[in-house]
Amino acid sequence: MAREEQIETACRWLASVGGSATPGDIGAALGLGNRQRQSEVINALRAGGLVEGPKQRVTLTAAGWARFGVAEPVGAGRALDAAVGGWPYAHQAYIRLMVSATIARVHLGEARPSGHLGFMAIGETGTGKSSPVEYVVCSLLGLDVGEVVREVPAETPGGIRGRHRDSGDGYQLVTTTSPAPVVLFDEFDKAEEQVRRAVWPYFQGKTVVTIDGTAYDRPSTPVLACNPPRVRGSVPPRGDAARYSMLRPEYRRRSVVLDTGYMHGRRAQLDAAVRAAIANPAPGGRLSLDRLKPPATALDTRALAILDQVREVLTDAGNEEYDVPGLELATLGRARLLGSGDLALAAVATATDYLLVAETVPGRVARDWHVQLEVLRRVCVDGGEVDQFAALVAKARTEADQHRGRARVAVVAKEREDVELIAERAALAERLRLAAESIDGRRLAVLTDAQRADAKGVRAALLDIRDRVNESRSPARLAELDQLAGEPLRLVAGIARQVEGEKRRRVEETRYAAQEKRRAAHALTRARKVDQQRRRKLREHLADELDRVVTAAKPLERLYARTSTRSGEQPFRVLRDLRIEGRALLTYEPPAIERGGGFLDKVGRAMAGPTPGTWRAEGTDIVFHGTAHQCAALDQWGPNTRAVLGPVLRWLHDIEDDRRAQLGRNPRTGRPQIPRRRSAVRTTGPAAIPATRVAALPTGPAHVQDVLAAISPRPY
């Protein structure tokens, strides 16, 4: 594309978007991705006197508008009306005031450096506080939302106070806000207190600020979006002083305050407006701020008188926040949007928008302000003079008072005639309200889903009939509604019986479950007590057995430990007299020869002398030779006697260790260590007698008492 063609295309595109754009936007429109080529085109436009302005944003000059046959934008007011057409009425007025004030601030900031309006929107989430700026003002004026919107919670006090740029001699504070003509301080209530304090100076109405003796431009119209604070867990209603406590009064009086709470519960209308704004950002075309220069720098006497007359329809609280200088500047901007030099008409339009917005804060505007503003509008349209205002307004006020008086008389007369009807209507409406409340969702939680659905339908019918009752104006209509309410009221009684029955059933279930729980707990406690008693008796039994075993083992341990025999002692007889389970510790087996033969054999054996037999240790395969009354191997305390006593002591020690382990006691110290290795068969005397292995001693607890009773050494 040739350079001349690029210049022409760029100018025509700038004219189509309102005459102002960034170099990047121009390059994108021309398809120039290279920054150097963009700079070349911009420089060519500047050289030809077609554009002007800083590097960041260029604007078509008058020569640029004229060169390609593009006339100066006209019908700006129609473009603004098209942009705000789908928004709620107070939002429309709020946007019109904001655009008018912005035009005045851009063009009259140097001539009128103070008194400019700020804008504050307060309300619940989703009621349209910041969307008018983001979706209407930015689109209408061709502004970059990123430059306009400042998220206050993400800012620091220093970042709010100013931005620093390299001026060649170091970084200096060159601007105190966004370079855009409008700046939105969003989410104001969620920021820290020191950050919020840094925002307030922007609402002093000045276009120039002095910092450290140096003056800096403050070109942007400030807008604030804020949620109302919560007081005791809830949001105060519109008109409550606590709702506006976050907006400082000294800055509110220099601002237009919109309480978006009037849109609470009407989210659908706002969503539709936002969708339309996204689909068609500027339905009537964009506005060029550079081309919308106000027709004058001050209002004439007639227009000022109109703005002064607004005080007559404001309350005392409204007058404290009414800023005539700010409305005067906004009126000058509005006059440019209207496209005429009639400042009085612009003043009426501005005053009307101001009152529409102020009315969203209850207690600021008188109820009959519409009547008086209509008088002012007729005067402007008819070309009336200023001195006619007072008489016309007084006449309108008198007529309004007379109308209200007549209406009041009629109302009183009607109330006197319908006292009985009102009482019956209120009684029936209250019955329906109480019946509907008796079957609300929380009380029906005990019913099934199907029953709750039926109850929901009955409740809806009751509320609908109640609304009709409140609107009824004749006894006949009230009688019809009373008859109509009969069936739903009967159903309510049935639902109430269902609820009560279900509640009783659940109470019985809960009581039965509690009884079962107590019964199970009692049984568990009883079982624990029985188990504790059983364990205690078992421990007592084990302790008693342990004492008996130790008592029985200690005499045997003393005998086991003997290694020397005193004069006159007979160890054999001591061991022979010991009994285990009724059986002797030593058993005697006579020789086979003594058990057979006839008379002559017995006589021969008697003459030959005694023949030795065998003494066997019980529970072992150890045998000793001896006669029925004597065993030489056991006449001395030592290894042989230990061989007889060892198995018994090992058995007793095993029982003792088992009982101690069950009782959690440590093993007894000081008792002799009995080897567990079974000894080989030993015999004494001239011949070895084969030994038969004897069964081991019983070790089970069932034999303990018998064994302990049997083990009782006898004195010798």
Span 233-250, average pLDDT: 88
Residue 622 phi/psi, 5-degree rounding, is -95, 130
Q: Tokens representing 381?
A: 């349209």
pLDDT of residue 70: 42
Confidence of residue 497 (pLDDT cuts 50, 70, 90): confident
* SS3 call for 680: coil
pLDDT of residue 609: 57
DSSP labels, 204-241: S--SEEEETTEEEE--SEEEEEEPPPPBTTBPPPTT-G
Percent pLDDT > 70 in the chain is: 79
Does residue 297 share a domain with residue 249? yes
pLDDT of residue 637: 93
Percent pLDDT > 90 in the chain is: 29
231 in any annotated domain: yes
Does residue 438 share a domain with residue 344? no
Among 45-49, 420-424, 514-518, 661-665, the range scoring the smallest mean pLDDT is 420-424
Q: Could you report the per-residue pLDDT of 12-36, keeping only the tens digit for each?
A: 777 666 567 788 888 877 887 778 8
Here the CATH number for the domain that contains residue 8 is 1.10.10.10
Span 387-394, average pLDDT: 48
User: What contacts 655, CB < 8 A, 6 or more positions away?
Assistant: 545, 549, 699, 701, 704
515 in any annotated domain: no
Confidence of residue 409 (pLDDT cuts 50, 70, 90): low
Does residue 104 share a domain with residue 207? yes
Is pLDDT at 71 greater than 60 in this prediction? no
pLDDT of residue 540: 93
554 in any annotated domain: no
Does residue 210 share a domain with residue 112? yes
Does residue 369 share a domain with residue 425? no
CB atoms within 10 A of CB 686: 7
**Of the candidates 368, 386, 404, which is a domain's last residue?**
386
Is pLDDT at 532 greater than 90 in this prediction? yes
Is pLDDT at 5 greater than 90 in this prediction? no
CB 56 within 8 A of CB 40: no
Does residue 439 share a domain with residue 382? no
Is pLDDT at 383 greater than 60 in this prediction? no
Span 336-347, average pLDDT: 83
Span 592-614, average pLDDT: 65
Is pLDDT at 677 greater than 70 in this prediction? no
Instruction: Annotate 459-472 with b (16+ C-beta within 10 A) or e (fewer).
Output: bebbbebbebbeeb
Residue 623 phi/psi, 5-degree rounding, is -130, 150
Stronger pLDDT, 314 or 16, i.e. the higher one: 314
Does residue 655 share a domain with residue 683? yes
Element (H, E) at 583: strand 583-584
pLDDT of residue 608: 55
CB atoms within 10 A of CB 699: 14
Sign of CA dihedral 606, 610, 612, 615: positive
Does residue 571 share a domain with residue 469? no
Among 172-181, 245-254, 319-328, 430-439, the range scoring the smallest mean pLDDT is 172-181
Nearest to 681, CA basis, from 619, 620, 615: 620
578 in any annotated domain: yes
**Of the candidates 49, 67, 85, which is a domain's last residue?**
67
Element (H, E) at 150: strand 149-151
pLDDT of residue 282: 83
User: What contacts 350, CB < 8 A, 6 or more positions away?
Assistant: 97, 100, 307, 327, 330, 331, 334
User: What contacts 68, CB < 8 A, 6 or more positions away?
Assistant: 8, 11, 12, 15
C-alpha distances in angstroms, 142 versus 183, 219, 290, 420, 475? 14, 17, 12, 63, 62
550 in any annotated domain: no
pLDDT of residue 396: 46
Q: At what angle do helices 35-47 and 3-16 cross, to 10 degrees?
A: 80
Among 206-215, 663-672, 695-704, the range scoring the smallest mean pLDDT is 695-704
Span 398-403, average pLDDT: 53
pTM more than 0.75: no
174 in any annotated domain: yes
Domain with 605, as residue range(s), is: 562-710
Does residue 80 share a domain with residue 62? no
Does residue 470 share a domain with residue 369? no
Element (H, E) at 636: none
pLDDT of residue 312: 86
Measure the CA–CA gap between 76 and 334, rounded to whole angstroms. 10
Here the CATH number for the domain that contains residue 88 is 3.40.50.300
Does residue 487 share a domain with residue 358? no
* SS3 call for 124: coil
Among 95-104, 194-203, 442-451, the range scoring the smallest mean pLDDT is 442-451
Which one-letter DSSP state was computed for residue 416? Answer: H
Question: How many domains are there within the chain?
Answer: 4
pLDDT of residue 267: 86
Output the average pLDDT for the chain: 80
Measure the CA–CA gap between 19 and 4, rounded to whole angstroms. 19
544 in any annotated domain: no
Half-sphere exposure of 334 (CA within 13 A, CB side): 28
**Of the candidates 67, 89, 120, which is a domain's last residue?**
67
Q: Tokens representing 388?
A: 């006619």
Is pLDDT at 455 greater than 80 in this prediction? yes
260 in any annotated domain: yes
Half-sphere exposure of 217 (CA within 13 A, CB side): 13
Does residue 172 share a domain with residue 53? no
